[in-house]
Amino acid sequence: MSSATQPRLAFIGVGTMAKAEDHASAIGNAKAVTDVSEAVASADIIFMCLGVDAAVQSTIESAVKSDVKGKLFVDCSTIHPDTTTMISKVIEAQGGHFVACPVFGAPAMAQSGQLVCVVAGPADQTKRVFPFCAGVMGRANIDYSGQAPSKATLMKIIGNTFILSMVSTLAEGHVMAEKTGLGVEELHKFVEAMFPGPFTAYSKRMLEGDYYLRDSPLFGVDLARKDAGHAAHLAKEAGTSMKIAEVADGYLKMVKEHMGEKGDIAGIYGAKRKENGLDFENQGK
């Protein structure tokens, strides 16, 4: 075990090996590996950020085949709270520690250290995670120290429904502005003045056609549908409903049918356009 002041870190994520090697070379004193066991063996704190529940589960299953006693696993993935509870029990049964730390923010915010980190788990372990959150990979923490790790992923799922709602609202507003003759640029001025930040950013992406012109999605349609599904399931279990998630998922299904793997959550605008007799692509094909 390394010094408590300088723990050895591992990060398990998705992407290409070339990008990992380039990043390791750029930061120095690091290396890229392809084997989960190798990454875990050489680290004291293991961060993970994977796309779907099954990937997180299989990664943990591989990790605990090695000695994980005393190691801290920090999961930044957006997964169902029940999955969070399950993997935390698997790790703790093998003598390891677990903290959930899902994050809010687009890839550009991650690169600039502007994420919002939601941290939950035993207080003696969350304090080991905070030095890497606000001020490093994030701009703020939502602190659930001392509470079940699943509290963080529940917060993340509910939080992501706000994004689904925001994108759906913008899509409907811009389609109405176009159909009524107000004009989308005129509505965008209102959005800029009243709702700076994510609302304005998504509005701009829609009007510039970024929702279908980019080579790879910022928030992929499959991941967005996964979150909508988790939200609907959690709401049903609690005896309530999440209508906005259900409506958004219907539009996301249309996005997937139209764009396939390149579909982005902002494509809800294209789906709403198509539903109302306009072309999916607002800039022409």
Q: Crossing angle, helix 268-275 and helix 243-259, to 10 degrees?
A: 90
Helix (H, G, I), strand (E, B) or coil at 10: strand
Report the phi/psi class of residue 82: left, alpha or beta, with left for phi > 0 and alpha for psi in -120 to 50. alpha
Helix (H, G, I), strand (E, B) or coil at 211: helix
Find all residues with CB under 8 Å of 76, minimum gap 6, and list them. Answer: 47, 48, 49, 101, 102, 103, 117
Residues assigned a catalytic role? 156
β pairing state of 115-121 and 103-104: antiparallel
- Rounded (5°) CA angle 90-93-99: 60
| Rounded Cα distance, 184 and 166, in Å | 16
E strand or H helix that includes residue 67: none
Place of tokens 């799922």: 157
Structure tokens at 69: 């006693």
Distances (CA, A) of 57 to 62, 116, 269: 9, 24, 33
Q: Are 56 and 79 in contact (CB under 8 A)?
A: yes
For residue 198, which of 162, 246, 152, 249 has the smallest C-alpha distance?
Answer: 162
| Rounded Cα distance, 22 and 174, in Å | 41
CB atoms inside a 10 Å sphere around CB 7: 16
Structure tokens at 234: 């959690």
